[in-house]
Structure 1
């Protein structure tokens, strides 16, 4: 499960506010393992100072464990 917002103590609303990604998209990524589009991944990755490419593969699962 994609839960960087939990790891960094951000609610989905807070992540929406800082990333500009709609909360419905963030929820879909976190709750259904939806793979984000590159543009979306880049916006979220920037908040956490990560590489967007890792979010587009299963690599992101190792970031939250």
Structure 2
């Protein structure tokens, strides 16, 4: 019901998949993080460093341009 309370749909409440704008934005950031993380890992960077750099890139796009 959090989905409905935050502007989501009945379908989100029924399926358990939140469809409110805040949840969708959070899912998009998570997907961006995973994409950047995998790119950095495939270039040979350690998991810890890749995680830190991916988080910075997602939270600060200007820094992400420098990192990538």
TM, length-normalised to structure 2: 0.29
Q: Find the structure with the greater CA-based Rg.
A: 2
- Structure richer in helix, relative to its length: 2
